[in-house]
Amino acid sequence: MTSIKDVARLAGVSIATVSRAVNNLDVVSDETRRRIQWAVDRLGYSPNLAARSLKRQSAKLLGLLVPDIENPFYATLAKHMEREASTAGYSLILCNTDGRSETEDHYLKLLSGRLSDGIFLCRSAIRASSLTASGGKTIPLVFLEKQEDGDDRQSVMVDNTDVGVLAARHLAEIGHARLACIMEDKRILPFARRVRGFIDETASHGIRVRPNSIIESGPRISDGRSAMLRLLKKRADSRPTAVYCTNDLLAFGAMQAVFETGLRIPEDISLVGTDDVAQSSYMYPPLTTVRQPFADIAREALRILIHKNVPAGGDVLLPPELVVRRSTGPAAGT
């Protein structure tokens, strides 16, 4: 069986140079690269992923960078992205950045060094729309969340304004007028848009959401619990009868706080979440939420990246869906 040592001998280079060339981990001159490829072809060196990458400048490899793989939103998104990538004949590498820019930079360099065909990013501050790998290959980037308005990079995501609209419309239509909101960091564009959609839709029903009824929190269940306990400290006649949470984890924590204070869901307080992660339907009571179109997001992101089918304006906004379960009910007295 032909080995990398045989390729190195025939090409007149070191084994390390062959390894760097087929893995594209370092700069190798075009002339040396051509000589190594000639040796690979001449010897019939095993056509593994690395050899194919060298010859085609493609590894059939995609990357997905997420800030927190423990968050079920990102786990669900990764599942659908991997499924779509596999269907298209690609492998997907999942990278968890923990929200750190230095970790993101490390993974971007790693993936570009391995001749990835594209990278998907969630909640990234990187300003580029593509990367250049050694050897000159351009690696496109597609963003699955955006950080700020005016960002013209290619992206695929749910229509976040419409997410808030659906939640508000549902609560208004079942008679709720004292509304509150628990949101993640307002500096993060998707959450800001959800809350803006929520406020604008409630206003169209003649309902005003007071600023002190919009509680900003962290992203986790414990943060939702703490934020809900703040809302429940209000007098009974001013306490909200319904609360919208900008992700399902916050809603899970809010549920815990409601039960700890002896109140009932939905008889005393209705709750609406966002995302429709798997756990939502198993909560008690099952959570009403606004569903993200995970499968459609994955499909559209792959279409843009693989087929270069880029929409005008750079964005694909997909419609959310309201999923009504038992955590919402009519406001008392309606």
Residue segments in the chain with a per-residue pLDDT below the cut of 50: 47
Given the candidates 3.40.50.20, 2.60.40.1480, 3.30.450.20, 3.40.50.2300, the CATH classification of the domain at 160-292 is 3.40.50.2300
What contacts 8, CB < 8 A, 6 or more positions away? 14, 15, 17, 18, 39
Q: How many CA atoms are closer than 13 Å to the CA of 269, on its beta-carbon side?
A: 28
User: How remote is the C-alpha of 320 from its chain's centroid?
Assistant: 15
pTM above 0.85, yes or no: no
Q: What is the pLDDT, as a whole number, of residue 235? A: 86
What confidence score (pLDDT) does residue 28 get? 77
Q: Tell me which residue of 184, 193, 182, 212 sits closest to 155, measured CA to CA.
A: 193
Could you say which DSSP state residue 292 is in?
A: P
Tell me phi and psi for residue 101, to 5 degrees. -65, -35
Given a contact cutoff of 8 angstroms between Cβ atoms, the answer to whether 22 and 52 are in contact is no
Domain boundaries, the chain: 1-34, 61-157+296-317, 160-292
Question: Helical H runs in 88-220?
Answer: 101-113, 160-173, 189-204
CA 3 to each of CA 7, 15, 176, 307: distance values in angstroms, whole numbers, following the listed order: 7, 10, 72, 35
pLDDT of res. 47: 45
Q: What is the pLDDT of residue 80?
A: 96
CB of 282 within 8 A of CB of 251?
no
Question: Does this chain's domain 61-157+296-317 share its CATH topology with 160-292?
Answer: yes
Read off the DSSP letter of residue 294. H
pLDDT at site 148? 64
- Tell me the fold of 61-157+296-317: Rossmann fold (3.40.50)
Q: Provide the pLDDT for residue 17.
A: 87
* pLDDT (0 to 100) of residue 230: 96
